Amino acid sequence: MDEMKFISFSRPSIGEEEISETLDTLRSGWLTTGPKTAQFEKEFGAYVHSPYALAVNSCTAALHLALAALEIGPGDEVITTPLTFCATVTAIMHTGATPVLADIGPDGNIDPDSIQSRITSRTRAIVPVHLGGLPCEMKRIWKIARANNLRVVEDAAHAIGTIYDGMPIGAAGTNPSEGSDAVAFSFYATKNLTTAEGGMVTTPDPDLYARMKCLCLHGISRDAWNRYTEKGSWYYEVEECGFKYNLSDFQSSLGIPQLRKQEQFIETRRKYARIYSDILSGMDEVELPAEAPPDARHSWHLYPIRLNPARLSIDRGAFIQALKERRVGASVHFIPIQLHPFFRQFANLPQNQCPASLALYPRLVSLPLYPAMTEREAEYVARTVRSILMAHTVIPAEMVSDLWFMRRAS
């Protein structure tokens, strides 16, 4: 495969539909939040089965907006996972609340038992993250939330197209005792659906939706698209100290065709994940990512393998370097929150100790997985991983002495 170009870690799938929809917006004369954003919100809500979907300019904004609209602030504690992007934690801190870290379970997602152990009289909310598109154990999280009168805001940056308990992530539950207050999605360039930069927040609650819609655009009661009152098109009123989080029509015109292609994108992601799992299964040098339970669907935003250091003569850094030399990009999701200088001030506190996340971190490598790859590239990636691992395999010490003993005995 010498002719093969470098397989970058991530690449968006932008087709003619995205280009023509964007040109249409440019020619229309309406660039910012308007009819395309309204259309995108409508189709997104239908896709995830939510009655209310609000387009915003990032997932970070969506998380902050939801927490702020739920009136979480100074003195409150919000529980989240350390194995996430920094934005999950900074969104909590921007409200003035204190983030609290709960440890991860075997699948890499937040561990409900650890959440339970972190609850104090100040706890107000839980922010679970569906890492790589694998759904968290939401039924257990909702149960803990209900028992302790806590809000739930899901970080679904990786989870558009993820199905949990037969329903899409972001759906308004049919069971009133189950469900989250809000669900935040990301449309950053590397995510399963991209608008270059962008996000969406869904909620089943009409009041929370109205509050978020107002706060999203300077706390103005109605947006510019729709601001014509008896007083005239120039009139508006500021009701609250809001933010500037609206998504433009320019970005939404990328999102509409991307959304219509999501099912096809996920099918391709699932096919490539199967190729990886088939080629890498049965190896002692590596553990494969957890599969979704039977009534769920993994969105396969990421394919994070776990190196087995006891069986390898190379570490994660050397493994990623070896992949790069063979023209395969890789990444790591994520550097645990505790290890960033800014977060150390609180992450080192006794109530934030998360040993499982620190133990997993040096083993994690995310392989490229996206619909703009070809099937041949996916096979090349998996075979390359396999051959690097096999070239650096070591037999653990106890097995070596067993072999030595067997040889002597025979």
Ligand X SMILES: *Cc1c(COP(=O)(O)O)cnc(C)c1O
Q: Which residues are catalytic?
A: 191
Among residues 25, 88, 194, 252, the one that binds ligand X under rule CB under 6 A: 88
Question: Which C-beta is closer to ligand X: that of 100 or that of 201?
Answer: 201
The residue count for the chain: 410
Phi, psi at 361, each rounded to 5°: -45, -50
Pairing of strands 123-127, 77-80: parallel
- Contact at 8 Å (CB) between 134 and 298? yes
* 59 touches ligand X by CB under 6 A: yes
User: Which segment (25-33, 82-90, 205-213, 387-395) binds ligand X by CB under 6 A?
Assistant: 82-90
* 58 touches ligand X by CB under 6 A: yes
Helix H or strand E segment including 246 = none
Question: Which C-beta is closer to ligand X: that of 158 or that of 316?
Answer: 158
Nearest distance from residue 302's CB to ligand X, in Å? 9
The 8-class DSSP code of residue 133 comes to: G
User: Which segment (83-91, 135-143, 305-313, 368-376) binds ligand X by CB under 6 A?
Assistant: 83-91
Among residues 22, 33, 37, 60, the one that binds ligand X under rule CB under 6 A: 60
Question: Which C-beta is closer to ligand X: that of 59 or that of 369?
Answer: 59
CA distances from 377 to 7, 15, 133, 271, 382 (A): 7, 20, 22, 12, 9
Smallest CA-to-CA distance from 198 within 55, 67, 88, 90 is with 55
User: Which segment (28-36, 52-60, 143-151, 159-167) binds ligand X by CB under 6 A?
Assistant: 52-60
Work out the number of other CB atoms within 10 angstroms of the CB of residue 321. Answer: 13
Count of helix runs (H) and strand runs (E) in the chain: 14, 12
Pairing of strands 182-186, 151-155: parallel
User: Which segment (10-18, 107-115, 155-163, 363-371) binds ligand X by CB under 6 A?
Assistant: 155-163
* 85 touches ligand X by CB under 6 A: yes
What is the DSSP code string of 324-342?
Answer: HHTTB--B-S---GGGSGG
Nearest distance from residue 88's CB to ligand X, in Å? 5
Question: Which C-beta is closer to ligand X: that of 22 or that of 366?
Answer: 366
* 186 touches ligand X by CB under 6 A: yes
Give me the 265-294 binding string for ligand X, x by CB under 6 A, dash otherwise.
------------------------------
* 155 touches ligand X by CB under 6 A: yes
Nearest distance from residue 87's CB to ligand X, in Å? 4
Number of residues lying near ligand X (CB under 6 A)? 14
Among residues 87, 145, 330, 385, the one that binds ligand X under rule CB under 6 A: 87
Among residues 78, 97, 157, 354, the one that binds ligand X under rule CB under 6 A: 157
Among residues 82, 112, 170, 199, the one that binds ligand X under rule CB under 6 A: 199
Question: Which C-beta is closer to ligand X: that of 202 or that of 384?
Answer: 202
Phi, psi at 27, each rounded to 5°: -80, -20
* 48 touches ligand X by CB under 6 A: no
Work out the number of other CB atoms within 10 angstroms of the CB of residue 341. Answer: 6
- 272 contacts: CB under 8 Å, gap ≥ 6: 300, 303, 369, 373, 375, 378
User: Which segment (26-34, 80-88, 109-117, 247-255) binds ligand X by CB under 6 A?
Assistant: 80-88
Among residues 40, 188, 319, 370, the one that binds ligand X under rule CB under 6 A: 188
- 352 contacts: CB under 8 Å, gap ≥ 6: 82, 100, 101, 338, 346
CA–CA gap between residue 105 and residue 134 (Å, rounded): 13
Distance of CA 342 to the CA centre of its chain: 22
Question: Which C-beta is closer to ligand X: that of 82 or that of 280?
Answer: 82
Phi, psi at 110, each rounded to 5°: -55, 140
User: Which segment (9-17, 84-92, 304-312, 358-366) binds ligand X by CB under 6 A?
Assistant: 84-92
Question: Which C-beta is closer to ligand X: that of 366 or that of 384?
Answer: 366
| Tokens at 20, concatenated | 């023509």
- Contact at 8 Å (CB) between 37 and 250? no
- Contact at 8 Å (CB) between 100 and 118? yes
* 84 touches ligand X by CB under 6 A: yes
Pairing of strands 167-168, 163-164: antiparallel
Question: Which C-beta is closer to ligand X: that of 186 or that of 384?
Answer: 186
Which residues 123-152 are close enough to bind ligand X by CB under 6 A?
A: 129
Which residues make up the interface to ligand X (CB under 6 A)? 58-60, 84-85, 87-88, 129, 155, 157-158, 186, 188, 199
